[in-house]
Amino acid sequence: MPKVKDAYKEIEGIIGSDFISDKDFMKTAYSRNVDLAFPDRWADIIVRPQLGNAEITFKVI
């Protein structure tokens, strides 16, 4: 899990806190498998792109 937290902080530093989340309600909203019995299949981090800002998207990728 420390790798996920490190990645979160690194991405947050690039895009800002308004465009990243690790909250469960966001994970369920963006997950293809919303079965609450299997939360381990959810994404660890949700990153929303900033529309019209290709430079930041490129940095994240």
pLDDT digits (tens, 9 = 90+) for 4-54: 999 999 999 999 999 999 998 888 887 776 666 766 677 889 988 777 778
pLDDT for the residue numbered 35: 67
Interatomic CA distance for residues 30 and 49, integer angstroms: 13
| Parent domain of 26 | 2-60
Cβ neighbour number for residue 44 with a 10 Å cutoff: 13
- Three-class secondary structure of residue 20 per DSSP: strand
Asked if 16 contacts 56 with a C-beta cutoff of 8 angstroms, the reply is no
Instruction: Count structural domains, the chain.
Output: 1
pLDDT for the residue numbered 40: 67
